């Protein structure tokens, strides 16, 4: 695998009966992870760029022989060919990435997937600036109108998603404009769970997991022990999304 491939973190959780659940790390895996119940333990994690690759590594880890699949989509890389040379959306979860249509430096999603894309962009430490609506003719020409400018909003993702629920949207494609959040850590140098020092690698890992959205950062040890699924002290929300 080349170093430019998109890697998605997968985690193996064991429930109290020691049964395995292999999930995508972070909020995307929350529903599946919750099924493992209280007392679950993080047994292992692996970075992979397809479902097939994750399962293959998992089979090796558990000495189960070779993983085989009859689903072609299992083999599909999480990378989308060619995206990287234009607009890099490789930091997005695979489902959101594959729905994107990249037009030069702009990214569009089908209307039905746009809210999910907004959430994923926000989850990965980006600031949503605005939405445009595009409507294509059969010959490929299109008109585009500015739909929502949320750059001054207190809660840009919610404002953007609310604008998508209007019934008078004049097209089927949503162009999302965003910018990377500058230094979301605000200078924090310690782990939110054990207060030990963060390293660049654990900060990157925390961003990849989506912890950045909760302004939370975990050290290597708390990440590998699965400690981050517990609500950190002083967190101000209702339900910790990584539980």
Which residues of this chain interact with Zn ion, rule CB under 5 A?
191, 193-194, 219, 222
Beta bridge partners of 149: 130
**Cβ proximity to Zn ion, 178 vs 193, nearer residue:** 193
Q: Which residue has the tokens 């600031």?
A: 127
Taking the complex as a whole, the smallest distance from the CB of residue 32 to Zn ion amounts, in Å, to 24
What is the spatial distance between Cα 20 and Cα 11, in angstroms, rounded to a whole number? 10
Specify the 3-state DSSP secondary structure of 184.
coil
User: What value does the CA radius of gyration of the chain take, rounded to a whole number of Å?
Assistant: 19
Residue 169 CA to its chain's centroid (Å): 26
What is the spatial distance between Cα 31 and Cα 222, in angstroms, rounded to a whole number? 21
**Cβ proximity to Zn ion, 102 vs 222, nearer residue:** 222
**Cβ proximity to Zn ion, 23 vs 219, nearer residue:** 219
- Tokens matching residue 38: 């209280």
Taking the complex as a whole, the smallest distance from the CB of residue 243 to Zn ion amounts, in Å, to 17
**Cβ proximity to Zn ion, 161 vs 223, nearer residue:** 223
Taking the complex as a whole, the smallest distance from the CB of residue 114 to Zn ion amounts, in Å, to 36
**Cβ proximity to Zn ion, 147 vs 193, nearer residue:** 193
Taking the complex as a whole, the smallest distance from the CB of residue 203 to Zn ion amounts, in Å, to 12
Taking the complex as a whole, the smallest distance from the CB of residue 124 to Zn ion amounts, in Å, to 22
Neighbour-count burial of 141, counting CB atoms closer than 10 A to its CB (0-12 exposed, 13-18 middle, 19+ buried) = exposed
């Amino acid at each position: 695998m080349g170093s430019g491939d998109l890697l998605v973190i997968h985690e193996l959780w064991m429930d109290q009966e020691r049964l395995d659940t292999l999930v995508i790390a972070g909020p995307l895996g929350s529903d599946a992870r919750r099924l493992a119940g209280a007392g679950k333990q993080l047994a292992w994690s692996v970075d992979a760029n397809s479902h097939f690759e994750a399962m293959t590594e998992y089979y090796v880890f558990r000495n189960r022989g070779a993983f085989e699949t009859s689903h072609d989509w299992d083999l599909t890389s999480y990378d989308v060919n060619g995206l990287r040379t234009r607009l890099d959306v490789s930091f997005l979860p695979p489902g959101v990435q594959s729905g994107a249509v990249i037009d030069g430096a702009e990214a569009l999603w089908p209307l039905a997937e746009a809210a999910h894309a907004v959430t994923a962009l926000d989850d990965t430490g980006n600031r949503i600036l605005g939405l445009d609506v595009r409507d294509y003719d059969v010959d490929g020409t299109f008109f585009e109108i500015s739909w929502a400018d949320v750059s001054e909003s207190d809660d840009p993702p919610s404002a953007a998603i609310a604008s998508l629920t209007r019934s008078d949207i004049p097209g089927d494609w949503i162009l999302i404009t965003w910018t990377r959040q500058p230094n979301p850590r605000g200078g924090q140098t310690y782990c939110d769970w054990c207060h030990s020092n963060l390293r660049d690698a654990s900060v990157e890992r925390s961003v990849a997991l989506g912890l950045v959205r909760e302004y939370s950062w975990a050290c290597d040890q708390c990440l590998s022990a699965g400690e981050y699924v517990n609500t950190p002290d002083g967190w101000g929300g209702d339900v910790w999304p990584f539980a």
